[in-house]
Amino acid sequence: MLLQGKTALITGAGRGIGRAIALCLAKEGCNIAFTDISLNEQVLDTEAELKALGVQVKAYAADAACFEQAEAIVGQVKEEFGAIDILVNNAGITRDGLLLRMSEQQWDDVIRVNLKSAFNYTRAVTPIMMRARKGSIVSLASVVGIAGNPGQANYAASKAGIIALMKSTAKELGARGVRANAVAPGYIDTDMTQALPQEVRDSFVERIPMHRAGTPEEVAQVVLFLASDMSSYVSGQVIPIDGAMG
């Protein structure tokens, strides 16, 4: 098993891609601490499914955009699990709209939940990973953070910010054995994308050379690679997972 006895902290893992990442890492022997905005039924189901895999698991309710809560959760996880070897910054939202009509609220919400959250958790695990002289940080960016997308100026900017945050983290912490990378999924079938109108989803699929959406499990496999020692000399990179869309 690739992650036997290690501990991962994953934000927003109650459903979707985060949940798939949690299950994929747990199947490799990794203990899982994860957050979501509240401990609703879906989140508790995910927690139960992870526990059935025989690893240590705990779900925490926290707003990833809150700096103080991130510090507190990281402290609690360190205390309860003994270590944090892997951080996955996954929590994210969309508040789409054309620039002409985009409100300050739409902009601020997306930047806070997507970008500030990644800073909050990366900042909070930094002293722990530096002291341990090891660690892997993986953040969910997006192909639109590389290419831009009409109607998603806020989301694309937040994801471009994540890429720069990971590249900078890799350069600052490399000498301490800590790696930081981003993955850039294209169009992945989750609740987030199910919310889009059918014709928009069809037009995405048409533009993808592989002619299908990706699955959360296909994103999780790449995160597993980056989280594990399989990628021990890979840092400061962005890996697209997009069926050749980018």
User: Could you list the residues that contact ligand NAD (CB under 6 A)?
Assistant: 11-12, 14-18, 35-37, 63-65, 90-93, 113, 140, 142, 185, 187-188, 190-193
Query: What is the closest distance, in whole angstroms, from the C-beta atom of residue 193 to ligand NAD in the complex?
Result: 5
Specify the residue, 70 or 170, whose C-beta has the smaller distance to ligand NAD.
70
Tell which residue, 16, 7, 112, has the closest CA to residue 64: 112
Q: Are 163 and 238 a contacting pair, CB within 8 Å? A: yes
Specify the residue, 40 or 131, whose C-beta has the smaller distance to ligand NAD.
40
Query: What is the closest distance, in whole angstroms, from the C-beta atom of residue 110 to ligand NAD in the complex?
Result: 9
Tell which residue, 203, 11, 21, 208, has the closest CA to residue 93: 11
Specify the residue, 135 or 186, whose C-beta has the smaller distance to ligand NAD.
186
Specify the residue, 113 or 222, whose C-beta has the smaller distance to ligand NAD.
113
Specify the residue, 68 or 229, whose C-beta has the smaller distance to ligand NAD.
68
Q: CA distances (Å), 65 to each of 35, 174, 178, in order?
A: 12, 26, 23
Q: How far apart are CA 209 and CA 212, in angstroms?
A: 8
* Catalytic residue, candidates 60, 155, 187, 233: 155
With a CB cutoff of 8 Å and minimum separation 6, the contacts of 196 are: none
Q: CA distances (Å), 59 to each of 56, 120, 148, 170, 220, in order?
A: 11, 18, 33, 28, 19
The verdict on whether 121 is a catalytic residue reads no
Query: What is the closest distance, in whole angstroms, from the C-beta atom of residue 129 to ligand NAD in the complex?
Result: 21
Query: What is the closest distance, in whole angstroms, from the C-beta atom of residue 4 to ligand NAD in the complex?
Result: 26
Q: How far apart are CA 147 and CA 244, in angstroms?
A: 13
Q: Just list the catalytic residues.
A: 155
